[in-house]
Amino acid sequence: MKAVICSKLEGPAALAVGELPDPKPGPGQVVVEVRAASLNFPDALMVRGMYQVKPPLPFSPGAELAGIVRAVGEGVERPRVGDSVIGLSGHGACAQLCVVDAARTMPLPEGIGFDDAAAFALTYGTALHALREVANLQPGETLAVLGASGGTGIAAIECGKAMGARVIACASSEEKLALCRKHGADETIDYLKEDLRARLDAIAGKKGVDVVFDAVGGPHSEPALRATGWRGRFLVIGFAAGEIPKLPLNLALLKERQILGVYWGDWTRKDPAGHARNMKDLVAWMLAGKVRPAITERVGLEGVADAIARMSDRKVLGKVVVNP
């Protein structure tokens, strides 16, 4: 099979497209013919050896996919050969065939195409879990999303709107903010040009921001935390800016704010029933047109290295889909 191959942890420039032996499913696993995969920020970290999960070399990037089951391993009752599925592979999806644990697949819902299906589980799953189980976001509350035009950011905007919140999208250019408005943001802030704290205060009013969804870290986290009001909740999603901020804990004491970590991948394994419920809701929202992945580019395997490089350079909007 053809695959994007990472044989040294030197970033996207060291990725190559080549031939690998067709994979065989182990016990509890299935092999999926990948019709679509999508890229996520962790792919950019993984090919540099900077992600918490470090697959043995060589490996292919790509944490999520949609496709057709071509082989099943020992003990697998579902899915069956020929079934269309969504799969969370962790890595390996940027290839023509990918091994996935059967337990990390779900049937492809009728009415959702391979591209949309490959581009929603990880980002929307993260966003909904963060806003629902971790932050307990309530209708009428104000949600500020940092890195709002990215994969998890657009998902947070749409899930926030679907949950009845007022959403303030924060990103680094007018083009990015226009995409956020298209996906439902009520207000937008360019945090490179505007004073983030002052603008959040002005928009949120006396009560302050209720929930911050921070997928960026770096210099934006502290002003966003300061803009939260009494019992505001600050969601630690990721550090796309590269810098893990160190926040003064007196900001938590004052106003009884909560700083809350989110680790969607581990939560899905610890609470499979909760994960299944969230996926069911997300599929229903997608079929009802309430959420829709912002697919801005489609590439073949040859385009993966460049897309991951641009993702690291902050040049990608929404989601990149890979059609192997």
Ligand X SMILES: NC(=O)c1ccc[n+]([C@@H]2O[C@H](COP(=O)([O-])OP(=O)(O)OC[C@H]3O[C@@H](n4cnc5c(N)ncnc54)[C@H](OP(=O)(O)O)[C@@H]3O)[C@@H](O)[C@H]2O)c1
Which residues make up the interface to ligand X (CB under 6 A)?
A: 40-42, 122-123, 126, 147, 149-153, 171-172, 176, 215-216, 237-242, 262-265, 311-312, 314, 316
Spatial distance between the Cα atoms of 248 and 98, rounded to a whole number of angstroms: 44
Position of tokens 């065939």? 97
H helices within 227-301, ranges in order? Answer: 250-253, 264-270, 272-287
Quote the least distance from Cβ 320 to ligand X, whole Å. 9
What's 23's DSSP letter?
P
CA dihedral 269, 271, 275, 276 (to 10 degrees): 100
Nearest to ligand X of 85, 235 (CB atom): 235
Q: Which is nearer to ligand X, 29 or 152 (CB)?
A: 152
Nearer to ligand X, 30 or 47 (CB): 47
Q: How far is the CB of 170 from ligand X (least distance, A)?
A: 7
Burial track 92-118 (b if 16+ CB lie within 10 A, e otherwise): bbbbbbbbbbbebbbebbeebebbbbb
Supply the minimum distance, in Å, between the C-beta of residue 243 and ligand X.
9
Please, what is the minimum distance in Å from the beta carbon of residue 237 to ligand X? 5
**Least Cβ distance, residue 78 to ligand X (angstroms):** 26
Distance from C-alpha of 88 to C-alpha of 99, rounded to nearest angstrom? 10
Q: How near is the Cβ of 139 to ligand X at its closest, in Å?
A: 24
Judged by beta carbon, residue 28 or residue 245, the one nearer ligand X is 245
Task: Give least dist CB 268 to ligand X, A.
Answer: 9
**Please, which residue, 152 or 228, has the CB nearer to ligand X?**
152
Identify whether the C-beta of residue 144 lies closer than 8 Å to the C-beta of residue 168.
yes
DSSP 133: I
Please say which residue, 267 or 285, places its beta carbon nearer to ligand X. Answer: 267
Q: Smaller CB distance to ligand X: residue 146 or 209?
A: 146
- Closest CB to ligand X belongs to which residue? 150
Residue 22 CB contacts under 8 Å (≥ 6 apart), including other chains: 1, 31, 97
Burial class of residue 194 in the structure, from the number of CB atoms within 10 Å of its CB (0-12 exposed, 13-18 middle, 19+ buried): middle
Q: From the CB of residue 292, how many other CB atoms can be counted at a distance below 10 Å?
A: 17
